[in-house]
């Protein structure tokens, strides 16, 4: 498919979706964009994207719409909405996405997985995670802070497809790793998101400041230990043995990165706390494990949402 993918649909042109759309378009793919808010879509149509000071003209995109009926069939669909918007996004994109060869998600948390699986089946669904930090400063202005790494999970049913999608992403400038263990990939990302995101949201600190502040760094490490304990008991080992250290170091380098949970709180939107923290809390409960830090972080973030 690496050679036959010519046309990609991005569902959700936010920080990650906008970045993906721009990279695919700059690499010569035909890119359609499907969004929700007509005002935001009109702005993207008028101005394109500004990414780290460079303009990506809207002329680079084939279609920029809120209605799928105005777009044509792509071979590849990327779901880039927040987890809590997945059901509506799937409904919105379904007439085209059901005909696509593959549907890819780089969303955080675990709640989007059953929704996408039910809609498209496991065979053509590719789950991935991205170690990218990006902030949407406005509907057309994205700050790509750090990170080019994308992990895709392969399983018996999608092996060839994953390789082909990896080639499309590599051609567009991303560093792609294909992992054989979907659960391990997803939970390793959850380890980062379930610890760092709520602490940043509560402290209102950018990621680098969370990692550099001795009190918050201590809380971060202890929260990761809680999650690692749950993962270990479930037989899930983080992708890298150095992951805890790597997470802290990665955050230290993300200067000024307002993580997406904090972005949501600041914008008065719901957060992805349910998608990110609830799976960990549920597994801990099943194991009969106490998770005082995680429980409180979840409670506080839900309180802030209100």
Select from 43, 92, 151, 188 the one that contacts ligand NAP (CB under 6 A): 92
Q: How far is the CB of 302 from ligand NAP (least distance, A)?
A: 17
- Cβ proximity to ligand NAP: between 37 and 46 the closer is 37
Q: How far is the CB of 95 from ligand NAP (least distance, A)?
A: 13
- Cβ proximity to ligand NAP: between 72 and 157 the closer is 72
CA angle 69, 70, 72 (to 5 degrees): 85
Select from 9, 71, 77, 108 the one that contacts ligand NAP (CB under 6 A): 108
CA distance 293 to 122: 34
Do 187 and 236 meet the contact criterion of CB atoms below 8 Å apart?
A: yes
Residue 141 DSSP class: E
Q: How far is the CB of 274 from ligand NAP (least distance, A)?
A: 12
CA distance 140 to 64: 12
Question: What tokens does 39 get?
Answer: 């005002």
Select from 20, 22, 76, 81 the one that contacts ligand NAP (CB under 6 A): 81
Element housing 276 (H / E): helix 273-287
CA distance 239 to 139: 34
User: Sign (positive/negative) of CA torsion 195, 200, 205, 206?
Assistant: positive
Question: What tokens does 180 get?
Answer: 């054989």
CA angle 118, 119, 122 (to 5 degrees): 60
CA angle 64, 67, 70 (to 5 degrees): 70
- Cβ proximity to ligand NAP: between 85 and 208 the closer is 85
Select from 32, 75, 85, 274 the one that contacts ligand NAP (CB under 6 A): 85
Question: With contacts defined by CB under 6 A, how many residues of the chain interact with ligand NAP?
Answer: 31
15 binds ligand NAP (CB under 6 A): yes
Q: Please identify, among the stretches 49-57, 102-110, 148-156, 164-172, the one whose residues bind ligand NAP according to the rule CB under 6 A.
A: 102-110
User: Sign (positive/negative) of CA torsion 117, 119, 125, 126?
Assistant: negative
- Cβ proximity to ligand NAP: between 195 and 260 the closer is 260
143 binds ligand NAP (CB under 6 A): no
Give the ranges where 121-213 is alpha helix by DSSP (H).
Answer: 159-171, 182-203, 207-212
CA angle 71, 69, 113 (to 5 degrees): 80
Binding mask 223-262 for ligand NAP (x = CB under 6 A): -------------------------------------x--
- Cβ proximity to ligand NAP: between 107 and 291 the closer is 107
For ligand NAP, the binding residues in 109-138 under the rule CB under 6 A are 130, 132-134, 136
Site residues, ligand NAP (CB under 6 A):
11-17, 34-37, 40, 80-83, 85, 88-89, 92, 106-108, 130, 132-134, 136, 139, 260, 272
């Amino acid at each position: 498919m690496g050679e036959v993918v010519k046309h990609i649909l991005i569902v959700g042109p936010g920080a990650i979706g906008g970045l993906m759309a721009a990279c695919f378009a700059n690499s010569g793919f035909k890119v359609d964009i499907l969004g929700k808010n007509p005002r935001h879509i009109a702005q993207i149509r008028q101005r394109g994207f500004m990414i780290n000071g460079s303009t990506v003209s809207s002329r680079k995109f084939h279609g920029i719409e809120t209605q799928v009926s105005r777009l044509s069939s792509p071979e590849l669909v990327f779901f880039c909405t927040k987890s809590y918007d997945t059901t509506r996004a799937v409904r919105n994109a379904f007439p085209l996405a059901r005909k696509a060869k593959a549907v890819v998600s780089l969303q955080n948390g675990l709640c989007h997985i059953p929704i996408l699986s039910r809609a498209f089946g496991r065979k053509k669904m590719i789950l991935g995670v991205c170690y990218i930090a990006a902030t949407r400063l406005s509907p057309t202005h994205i700050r790509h802070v750090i990170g080019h790494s994308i992990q895709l999970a392969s399983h018996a049913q999608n092996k060839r497809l994953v390789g082909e999608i990896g080639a499309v992403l590599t051609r567009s400038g991303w560093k792609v790793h294909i992992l054989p263990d979907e659960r391990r990939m997803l939970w390793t990302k959850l380890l980062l998101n379930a610890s760092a995101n709520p602490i940043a949201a509560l402290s209102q600190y950018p990621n680098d400041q969370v990692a550099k502040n001795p009190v918050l760094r201590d809380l971060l490490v202890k929260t990761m230990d809680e999650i690692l304990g749950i993962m270990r008991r479930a037989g899930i080992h983080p992708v890298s043995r150095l992951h805890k250290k790597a997470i802290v170091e990665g955050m230290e380098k993300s200067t000024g990165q307002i993580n997406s949970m904090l972005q949501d709180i600041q914008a008065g939107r719901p957060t992805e706390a349910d998608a990110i923290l609830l799976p960990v809390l549920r597994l801990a409960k099943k194991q009969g494990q106490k998770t005082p830090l995680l429980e409180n972080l979840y409670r506080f973030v839900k309180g802030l949402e209100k």
